[in-house]
Chains A and B, each alone.
Chain A
């Protein structure tokens, strides 16, 4: 009887499923639940809708909502239009120096937007290099503070995201589709708008949702460049600061509204593409069109200009890190002082970022592979539930994760606020969805009979998983995991709420120095971040060279 019970219920996978479910209950369901409940409490602790009523009646709150939506929509439209056009042109035509161009797009994509915000202040802000330069020749630059700056930063950074995603989708089109259209007498333009773009529209719509949610959730950019123009994440942060020591009731209500918007957009898009999942073989991808030199340069130059503008913040940060400064003013002359100060004062932040990101990475890889396995191979035994739970943080802005961890983990039974554990936990929860998705992709290409072959040869299921399945998944998952590591290195929105003086990370240090007006040191720290990210990217490029994965 006992052996029967063990055979049916007590195996490695049921135990893993239970452990993971427990993890998600503690790290996700419980904090989000607390946040949700808190948002319905009034100042006396009684249940009421007062926070929501305040939200929708006080101008201070509801304008932030309209700001967020406005910025989200405009940034999404601009970045999608530009990203799709660039992806199509670069994919189809013999653009000059295509390889390096694609790499530069990836580099833009991997740089945190708030670095962009800070650099645009350096360039076009009140004391910016370019502002001064242009003023001398009599051109007055319109202010980049407020919505203009936010939209500028988002559009540049997110168009790189769209570019990468759409490029992947374009690779899936089989040239026979376009040839069929051509044989039926469709012109080139007609073919593009009736065949090529519609068949990848499901992919475009997914990336639009991602882009929208990112612009809705990003925290660093509006905080730095927005000034008076408040968006939802900024509101959450301010509400929390003003409620210091309280229950973060108002911050909770704002968070709930933000999550509901993200979730609504995601569900709408899912419903839209549910009936539009085009299966394409992509056996014979279209050949690159070789344009004559004039046309070739006419198409190449705009691509390079856009990438250059998108990369300008990175260049600015690196260059200005070597310039002597006095507070917010660059006084000219080459120096290493900024780096000296950076390492002296922020050495521990640099170390923390590497340490926390790497520890989080280990958990992300292990949890990612196991979760992917359970959600693919054990759908009925908890797989579907786990899959839903793991994808949920996808719609939750980092600031919301920050707030709800503060509410949930600042008292017994789980008192971990202010420790490094809570930061690593935020990293893991926030970055896990991507790794799970890429692991699921890899796992679906591994035939289940490989595992069965191993089991039939006498190797127990758990050992089979480690020797065969996980081993085969690792190479595919590793590249994605390095991207998660980069995302952890960049993370600001949740950690800005969760850090304490002993757990400061690199992005927080950058943010702190920028807000104190110490631009030189901030630039040095930003450069250190960029260099680490670039190094990690090179690693990914090496790992995926065979498969042509990320680039």
Chain B
């Protein structure tokens, strides 16, 4: 039986330092929810508060309508997967997976098939009698995963489960985790610092910084409509261009003049004129005519695209990804006109406030 999770204004202090500073989140039943942020942003601290390993200094956390602030970790009905696997080294694979079932006093007859089924779901049924020291990192993480979901917890918590694996295995495992989660329908809270992983795996993401949530949304929302410059920079790459909104036309459409020498109309949330910062991702630029004039400084071949560093006439250097004509790399010194997809631009009054729709 999966729960929805409701986090209300929670705080965690270490002395004067607030590791988690008033976070509120509503996580739906069966949802794959990710806490994403750089190291030290409080995401793991928050996860451990949900798990019961960190005390909640202020605020409340509810599983369904059960207040869990003062419920011990072992009574919270959670499953947890750790960064370093935490597979019990003195037990076989199947004893590891059976561990939580034993704690729930599930009979031997019922235990064995459930353990086997869980191991087969993570594709290591043939390793059931091995000891952990005879397993690779990826296999150990599969054991940890099977051990966490075999008890059918109300909530599955994962603390950077893939960060110790190599790049290829990471991609394999994450699609396995996603399929498994969809199949079992367990509410899952996932912590990672890897934005690509978060985008790939999540139903919704909360981007965190300095103990606060900077934006919550579906992956495509987070990517295309970052609510502040931190999110715009942290998720993917972006170019920040200075400019000003000169005037506002009917229907709150602002006329944005970029310092680099382009003028576009942008739909705004409210009437506003004055200096702004525009964020445009490298892949939303293209080389064309009547754009911002500039000169190529460096070209980097990256397989499926070429990354150009282009110096605009105001002196700013921007990054432009070109996916076509990969074979004909433009040499440094070439003069170009840089255009962009106007609908993909985000405009900010300051670091914290978005003004474009």
Contacts and interface: CB of A to CB of B under 8 A. Distances in A.
Interface in A414-466: 447, 449-450, 452-461, 464
Contacts of B79: 456-457
Contact of B90 (A4, A452, A471): A471
A447 B99 contact: no
B70 interface: yes
B305 interface: no
B72 A458 contact: no
A456 B88 contact: no
Given A447-B84, A449-B82, A449-B84, A455 B73 contact: yes
B74 A455 contact: yes
A457 B100 CA distance: 5
Interface residues of A, number: 21
Contact of A458 (B89, B90, B104): B104
A547 interface: no
B84 A456 contact: no
B73 A453 contact: no
Contacts, number: 72
A17 B350 CA distance: 53
Interface in A308-342: none
B88 A454 contact: yes
A456 B70 contact: no
Given A3-B70, A453-B80, A453-B144, A458 B88 contact: no
B43 interface: no
A7 interface: yes
B99 A454 contact: yes
Nearest to B82: A449
Contacts of A464: 74
B306 to A, nearest CB: 41
A454 B72 CA distance: 13
A7 B74 contact: no
Contacts of B151: 457-458
Nearest to A452: B53
Contacts of B167: none
B51 interface: yes
B78 interface: yes
A7 B72 contact: yes
A234 B83 CA distance: 58
B73 A452 contact: yes
B86 A452 contact: yes
A458 B100 contact: yes
Interface string A466-483: 001001100000000000
B71 interface: yes
A456 B90 contact: no
A457 B72 contact: no
A468 B100 CA distance: 13
B193 interface: no
A456 B51 contact: yes
B160 to A, nearest CB: 11
B103 interface: yes
B147 interface: yes
Interface in A1-57: 3-4, 7-8
Given A458-B104, A458-B151, A471-B90, A452 B80 contact: yes
B86 A4 contact: no
Nearest to B104: A458
A450 B80 CA distance: 11
B89 A452 contact: no
DSSP class of A's interface residues: helix, strand, loop or mixed? helix
B347 to A, nearest CB: 44
A456 B71 contact: no
Contact of B103 (A8, A452, A457, A471): A457
Contacts of B82: 449, 452-453
A449 B72 contact: no
A459 B99 CA distance: 9
Q: A4, A447, A449: which has the most chain B beta carbons within 10 Å?
A: A449
Contacts of B104: 458
Interface string A378-408: 0000000000000000000000000000000
A472 B144 contact: no
A454 B73 CA distance: 10
Nearest to B105: A458
Contacts of B147: 453, 457
B80 A7 contact: no
Nearest to A460: B74
B99 A457 contact: yes
Contacts of A454: 88, 99
Nearest to B96: A453
Contact of B88 (A8, A450, A461): A450
A460 B72 contact: yes
Interface string B224-267: 00000000000000000000000000000000000000000000
Contacts of A455: 52-53, 72-74
A453 B86 contact: yes
A459 to B, nearest CB: 5
Contact of A452 (B51, B75, B99): B51
Contacts of B100: 457-459
A547 to B, nearest CB: 14
Given A457-B100, A457-B147, A458-B103, A450 B86 contact: yes
Nearest to B89: A472
A471 B99 CA distance: 15
Q: B52, B70, B78, B148: which has the most chain A beta carbons within 10 Å?
A: B70
A453 B78 contact: no
Nearest to B100: A457
Interface in A341-369: none
Interface string B92-113: 0000000110011000000000
Q: B74, B99, B104: which has the most chain A beta carbons within 10 Å?
A: B74
A370 B74 CA distance: 21
Q: B51, B84, B88: which has the most chain A beta carbons within 10 Å?
A: B88
B70 A461 contact: no
B144 A459 contact: no
A456 B78 CA distance: 6
Given A450-B86, A457-B99, A472-B89, A4 B80 contact: no
A456 B81 CA distance: 9
B144 A456 contact: no
Nearest to A1: B70
A457 B82 CA distance: 12
Interface in B141-198: 144, 147-148, 151, 157
A294 to B, nearest CB: 45
Contacts of A458: 74-75, 77, 100, 103-104, 151
A447 B89 CA distance: 11
A464 B86 CA distance: 13
A459 B75 CA distance: 8
A450 B86 CA distance: 5
Given A452-B53, A456-B80, A468-B88, A4 B70 contact: yes
Interface of A: 3-4, 7-8, 447, 449-450, 452-461, 464, 468, 471-472
Given A4-B70, A7-B71, A456-B80, 6 more contacts: A449-B84, A455-B72, A456-B73, A456-B157, A459-B74, A472-B89
7 contacts: A8-B70, A450-B89, A456-B51, A457-B103, A458-B75, A460-B72, A471-B90
Shortest Cβ-Cβ A-B pairs, 4 listed: A457-B100, A456-B80, A453-B86, A449-B86
